[in-house]
Amino acid sequence: INTRSFGPDPRLVAKLGAAYIKGLQESRCIAVGKHFPGHGDTNKDSHLTLPVIHYGLDRLNRVELVPFRKAVRAGVDGIMTAHIAYPAILGTNDPATLSPVFLTDILRGDLAFKGLVITDDMEMHAISRRQDLGEAAVRSVLSGADIVLISSHGHSIEAIRNALKSAVAEKRISVERIDESVRRIMEIKFRYGIASPVNGALPGPFILSDGDRRALARAERVNQRLSRGGILYSGDRTLLAPRKGRARIFITGSRVLRDELTRKGESGLFENFAAFRGYRPPVKGGAVLFLHVVKHDLAYVREAASYCEAAGIHLVLVSSGNPFPFALSGLARAGLFSFSDTEESVRQLGRCLNGEFRPAHGGGALFGIDDRR
């Protein structure tokens, strides 16, 4: 789940999640809580395989379900399912997406959720590598899903549509069950102005009022302030600021970060490590390489660290994702962390590197970085 979670404390996640839901839905944006009944304690990626959680329902009620209960009480309009197996609860390795125990008994029954139940992408390998997509879609609807999510535009959509139509024609799925989901979907569309309750027509072009524009401007300022305030620097402070006589090199594939750096006249920019290879720093003053990473590619960072050590270049890790996979690796002299890869977070990383503000400093012990200087 990575940086998509507010953290490991279920009560904190519940509190912040409820506030986020309120802000989204008051601004006419449908909020969706995910992934039900919990995805935070897995060590596998459901895009690639089926994660299995061996906890029972007591643990889920104490931890994983706490934020979902709060979200339902906060009026969240959507819940997305998890492609995760809970054999201690179900007695099988079926994912929660295909389980009426989770989607109907627990979510609709125990939690009293009245909104839309949306599956995670059915083409993820936790589903698609284990069974036919059409059959999986039918089982998800029978379990309680209102919307079957498919992210591609390929043949999967037609296969799932045909499977659902056949299941209704064969009375495996009742018309009443389909009508339940249609009513929920249309009620949400009417409430958010996506369709007209009179004739089902789509609304005309949305025109921002002066009040809307002022609200957007305020939100943008808040986003900038939060993104800037979330940046942390660990390690040797002297490496971050530009210093006369010392070359600064940047490796980044981010257009946003490159634009910020070039705005201040930085010229030593490379899109990837292969393009940088062969660079030799000036004899005097040395050089600092700022290596921007988003994905958890420790081998990539290790290669850069080895090269920099041999070339006498200081390495500063610039992370706009989750930095903890690099924890205690000891590969970099310093690190600049945004804990987020949103456009504004990356933009503020660039402004920090340009010397426009000083970030918070500390946390080096978490990343194997010496913070004493």
Catalytic-role residue among 35, 39, 94, 120? 120
Please compute the mean of the pLDDT values over residues 284-313 and round it to a whole number: 86
Distance CA 72, CA 87 (A): 25
Please compute the mean of the pLDDT values over residues 148-175 and round it to a whole number: 92
Distance between alpha carbon 216 and the CA centroid of its chain, in Å?
Answer: 23
- The pLDDT of residue 205 is 63
Please compute the mean of the pLDDT values over residues 280-289 and round it to a whole number: 74
Residue 327 has pLDDT above 80, yes or no: no
Please compute the mean of the pLDDT values over residues 238-244 and round it to a whole number: 80
Token digits of residue 83: 């492609």
Token digits of residue 157: 């959509």
In which band, very low, low, confident or very high, does the pLDDT at 364 lie, cut at 50, 70 and 90? low
224 burial type by CB count under 10 A (0-12 exposed, 13-18 middle, 19+ buried) = middle
Residue type, 284: K
- The pLDDT of residue 222 is 93
**Which residues sit opposite 288 in a β-bridge?**
248, 314
CB 94 within 8 A of CB 85: yes
Residue 328 has pLDDT above 60, yes or no: no
The tens digit of pLDDT for each residue in 32-49 reads 999 999 987 887 888 888
- The pLDDT of residue 372 is 59
What's the half-sphere exposure (Cβ side, CA atoms, 13 Å) at 153? 0
Average pLDDT, the chain: 89
- The pLDDT of residue 52 is 94
Q: Write down the residue that tokens 């659902």 correspond to.
A: 164
CB 336 within 8 A of CB 318: yes
More confident residue, 342 or 363: 342
More confident residue, 111 or 272: 111
The tens digit of pLDDT for each residue in 330-353 reads 788 888 999 888 999 999 999 999
Q: Where are the domains of the chain?
A: 2-191, 231-367
* Residue 125 annotated as catalytic: no
- The pLDDT of residue 78 is 98
Catalytic-role residue among 45, 47, 54, 370? 47
The tens digit of pLDDT for each residue in 211-222 reads 888 988 998 999
3-state secondary structure the chain: CHHHCCCCCHHHHHHHHHHHHHHHHHCCCCCEEEEECCCCCCCCCCCCCCCECCCCHHHHHHCCHHHHHHHHHCCCCEEEECCCECHHHHCCCCEHHHCHHHHHHHHHHHCCCCCEEECCCCCCHHHHCCCCHHHHHHHHHHHCCCECCCCCCCHHHHHHHHHHHHHHHCCCCCHHHHHHHHHHHHHHHHHCCCCCCCCCCCCCCCCCCHHHHHHHHHHHHHHHHHHHHCCEEEECHHHCCCCCCCEEEEECCCHHHHHHHHHCCCCCEECCHHHHCCCCCCCCCCEEEEEEECCCCHHHHHHHHHHHHHHCCEEEEEECCCCHHHCCCCCCCEEEECCCCCHHHHHHHHHHHCCCCCCEECCHHHHCCCCCC
The tens digit of pLDDT for each residue in 37-88 reads 998 788 788 888 899 999 999 999 999 999 999 999 999 999 999 999 999 9
CATH of domain 231-367: 3.40.50
More confident residue, 203 or 208: 208
* Residue 292 annotated as catalytic: no
CB 163 within 8 A of CB 134: yes
Angle (CA) 109-115-119 rounded to 5° is 90
CATH topology of domain 2-191: TIM Barrel (3.20.20)
What's the half-sphere exposure (Cβ side, CA atoms, 13 Å) at 6? 15
In which band, very low, low, confident or very high, does the pLDDT at 193 lie, cut at 50, 70 and 90? confident
Q: What is the share, in percent, of the chain residues with pLDDT greater than 70? A: 92
Dihedral of alpha carbons 177, 180, 183, 188, sign: negative
85-102 CB burial, b ≥16 within 10 A, e <16: bbeebeeeebbbbbbebb
The tens digit of pLDDT for each residue in 248-272 reads 999 999 999 999 999 888 878 999 8
- The pLDDT of residue 323 is 78
**Which residues sit opposite 117 in a β-bridge?**
79
- The pLDDT of residue 236 is 86
DSSP strand pairing (287-293 vs 314-319) = parallel
In which band, very low, low, confident or very high, does the pLDDT at 365 lie, cut at 50, 70 and 90? low
Residue 126 has pLDDT above 80, yes or no: yes
Among 12-16, 202-206, 306-310, 323-327, which range has the highest average pLDDT?
12-16
Residue type, 285: G
What are the distances in angstroms from CA 235 to CA 281, 310, 324? 22, 20, 15
Please compute the mean of the pLDDT values over residues 104-132 and round it to a whole number: 96
